[in-house]
Amino acid sequence: MRSSLTILLFFALGVMVGIFNFAPSYIIQNDLSHWALYLLMLLVGIGIGADASALKAIKALNFRIALVPLFTIVGTTLGVLLVYLILPMFNLSDMLAIGYGFGYYSLSSIFIADIRGDELGVVALLANIMREIITLLFAPIFASLFGKLSPIVSGGATSMDTTLPIITKSSGKDYAMVSLIHGVILTILVPFLVTLVLGLN
Amino acid sequence: MWTVLAIMIVGIAVGFAIRKKPNLARLNDKLTLWAIYLLLFMLGISIGANDTIINNLSKLGFSALLIALGGVAGSVAMAWAGYQLWFKKKG
């Protein structure tokens, strides 16, 4: 949680620097961010490979537990599709790409900004922060109204870290492991699904 | 863009190779966090310098809210149905 605040702080600081034109123009115009993204993906990959809990999560997969990330992926697809049909703000593949951030706002916003430009990157950042905040606020209500899996799927990729405490509180300790596995799987899938759906365009 | 995925897969293999070295893994976590700080700082700069985005921020924020709500609502609906079918203890 502390690091998510720091992440947002760095972003806000960047926005200020940009608004007040403090940045030398070569920073804005060059392709540095592209290389930085490559570096980030290498580091994220190393983090997943070295993480014992990621391996444990995949080993602990069984039919029922594998269903939960599937609910999230299918549900997010249908929900975003519905929003698109009511109000097509962007084209469908762009909107789905934003949805497939599953709350993992740092990675998905950087990724989408790099492929589709800054405007969509901002929407991805905001939408995925909102998904995390909605989960933090409503997990207890979701659990009592819609069953114990609902806070987990709402949290998306964050169900392994930032929203895990509130999910455990709302759904009970029995669901902590499901929540962790769900978050790990979605975290790994985010770059793949985003790339895939943007490639369809 | 597939390059990015290939790089990530190489990373996973490297990470798997060093999984018994907690110091390296911890260093990697730190570097990852700083890479994210740097990239979001840079994203912030180019967004701050982009008047079209800054002037449309409330509209973009509204779009973001709808996408977030759609994603959450769809997921919760699926999970509710799935919970009734496969998870709820039969009483």
For chain B, 91 residues long, give each residue's pLDDT as a single digit of tens: 678 889 999 999 999 999 899 899 899 989 998 988 988 998 898 889 889 999 999 999 999 999 999 999 999 999 999 999 988 775 5
Of A182 and A29, more confident: A182
Considering only alpha carbons, which residue of chain B is nearest residue A139? B76
A197: amino acid identity, one letter: V
ipTM: 0.91
Distance from CA of B58 to the nearest CA of A (A): 10
| Structure tokens given for A148 | 């114990």
**Mean per-residue pLDDT, A128-136:** 95
Position A1 pLDDT exceeds 60: no
**Mean per-residue pLDDT, A176-185:** 93
CA atoms within 13 A on the CB side of A19: 10
Which structural domain range is residue B88 located in?
A: 56-91
What is the tally of structural domains in chain B? 2
Residues of chain B with Cβ-Cβ distance to A110 below 8 Å are 36, 39-40, 43
In degrees, to the nearest 5, what angle opens at C-alpha A45 toward C-alphas A44 and A51?
90
pLDDT above 70 covers a percentage of chain A that reads: 93
Which residues, 6+ apart, have CB-to-CB distance to A121 below 8 Å? A109, A110, A112, A113, A114, B43, B47
Instruction: Say whether both B62 and B84 belong to one domain.
Output: yes
Write down the mean pLDDT value for chain A: 90
Position A10 pLDDT exceeds 90: yes
Instruction: Say whether both B75 and B38 belong to one domain.
Output: no
Instruction: Say whether both B46 and B4 belong to one domain.
Output: yes
| Cβ–Cβ gap A14/B41 under 8 Å | yes
Position A7 pLDDT exceeds 90: no
Instruction: Say whether both B48 and B11 belong to one domain.
Output: yes
Instruction: Say whether both B37 and B75 belong to one domain.
Output: no
Which residues, 6+ apart, have CB-to-CB distance to A139 below 8 Å? A151, A154, A155, A163, A166, A167, A169, A170, A171
